Each structure stands twice: as structure tokens, then as C-alpha cells.
Amino acid sequence: MLTVVIGPPAAGKSTWCREHTGPDDIIIDYDLLANALAAPREGESKHEHAKGVKAVTKAARQAAIDKAITLRDVDVYLIHSTPSAQLLSKYRNYGARIVTVDPGMDIVMERAKAERPWQMQQVVKKWYRDNGMPAKPGKVSPRKRGLDTKHDNQRTHLLSIHLDGTLCFWCGKPMYRDPLRNPDRAPLEADHSTARSLGGKIADRLLHMRCNRSRGDGRRDHLRPAIANTPGQEPLTTRDWLD
Ligand SMILES: [Zn+2]
């Protein structure tokens, strides 16, 4: 079984792997490989590596992956911060399960500042931008959008009873708890089927983040992609979503 462990830098992916593996399991971790290959130097960050070390590490890592995916009856854990959508689907074709380790941007930024080279903070911000979370939480805070703790709790409840693969009302595509399995690679949002502006009191279903925001107050529901995909028309594909 191949497990691909993804998440922002300093999320705790290595720690997660250590806690979830047995003595016969394999962990493919770029940083550990690099540290094994580099000559030890006192007092230097173990997350910064020379150009030559990086090149050799990359080759060693790829060789390890190529061999690992051919092994049966061995549990392999591959740490990969931000695989491309193509690479993720390749991993899935090998039957991989994808685990996201993400303790939240505040914690990750704090750790990155304390433990990583300063450039890493930009990488963390980019990870959250690319994964559909606002880089500055204050900017699009839930409170500003008129929501509150009750709404957050309701979303948590809806997620707890959510069956992966349930189709999204707006686009008709499957919805997943794992953000990276969704067409917009973002976490699901709780939606009011009767818009709040029209008297809807409680969020009663989940939608893809992008779909929830496209839907607005529901006045264009009859134009939603799920019913626009009538037979004879080319259906929307994941490619359409990846911009
Ligand atoms: Zn959708």
C-alpha cells in the first residue's frame, strides 16, 4: 500500500509518518534522504541543502519511489508537499491513498518561522493560496461574510455525516472530505439551500467551495452546470477546473 502524505512545509508530515508506521514500513522523505547524503555540518539548518546534494537526493528519491511502487505487501509512505494534479492522479492509479497533514496556517507559519529557512514562509503562504484557503484569514473572515460559530459547527456536522463521492448540487461532480480530491482542490463549504438573504436559517448541505461561491443566493440555480451538462454536450471535465 502506497500512502502519499501531502501538506504545507512544517505541517508535521515527517512526525505523522513516524507515528503511523511500523518497523518494516518504508518512509521516503526528501529531507531525511538529503541529510543522509550530505556531509554533516555543525549548526546548519537540516532543511537547507547544497545544489549537488539536492540533485543527488532527487535522483535517489525517484529511484526509491520507482522501486517502492512495484513492491507488494509493503507499506510505503511517500512525503510530497505539493504534488501536481497529474502526479496525484498517477499515484491514485497505483492505488495510493492520499493523506493531508495540515494543522492550520497559524501553526504552520509559527513553526516555519522558528524552524525553517525564511524563504519557507513564502512557500507556506503559496500552499494555502493554491489550496483555496485565504492567505490572510482576516481578509475574507467568515464573520465578515455574515457567518458565525454556529455555521462552523453546522459545517463540521455536515462533514461528519458526509459520504465521500456524494454529488455536488451545483456542478454534479463528486465531493470529498480530502480537499485535493475535489475539482477545485479546496475544502467543502456548507451551503444554505434557501439563501440567507431569502430567509434560510441553517446551512443544510455541502458544496464545493468554488460552486458555493458561484451559486450566490441561488437565483441562477436553473443555470447550474449540473443541469447544463445535457446529453449531447461535452461534459465538464476536471481539466476545466484546474485553470
Ligand atoms: Zn460542485
Domain annotation covers residue 114: no
Domain annotation covers residue 209: yes
CA–centroid distance, 176 to ligand 1, in Å, is 10
Pick the last residue of a domain from 84, 102, 120: 102
CA–centroid distance, 207 to ligand 1, in Å, is 6
The residues whose Cβ lies within 5 A of ligand 1, an ion, are 168, 170-171, 208, 211
Domain annotation covers residue 116: no
Domain annotation covers residue 118: no
Domain annotation covers residue 127: no
| Residue pair 25/75 in contact by the 8 Å Cβ criterion | yes
Beta strands in the chain (DSSP E): 2-6, 26-28, 76-79, 97-100, 189-191, 205-207
Residues 30, 98, single domain; the answer is yes
Q: Could you give the CA distance from residue 35 to residue 33 in angstroms, rounded to a whole number?
A: 5
Q: Which domain holds residue 35?
A: 2-39+46-102
Residue 143 has pLDDT above 80, yes or no: no
Confidence at residue 144, expressed as pLDDT on a 0 to 100 scale:
45
Q: What average pLDDT does the segment 164-185 reach?
A: 90
**Residue in this structure with the C-alpha cell 436559517, named with its chain if needed:** 201
Residues 168, 226, single domain; the answer is yes
* CA neighbor of 200 nearest in space, from 147, 144, 156, 143: 147
Domain annotation covers residue 215: yes
Q: How many domains does the chain have?
A: 2
* CA neighbor of 206 nearest in space, from 160, 142, 147: 160
Task: Give 66-120 pLDDT, tens digit per residue.
Answer: 898 888 788 999 998 878 878 888 887 777 888 888 888 888 888 888 877 788 8
Domain annotation covers residue 186: yes
Residues 155, 94, single domain; the answer is no
Residues 163, 234, single domain; the answer is yes
pLDDT band at residue 145 under the 50/70/90 scheme: low
CATH code assigned at 34: 3.40.50.300
CA–centroid distance, 165 to ligand 1, in Å, is 11
pLDDT band at residue 200 under the 50/70/90 scheme: confident
Domain annotation covers residue 220: yes
**Residue in this structure with the C-alpha cell 539548518, named with its chain if needed:** 45
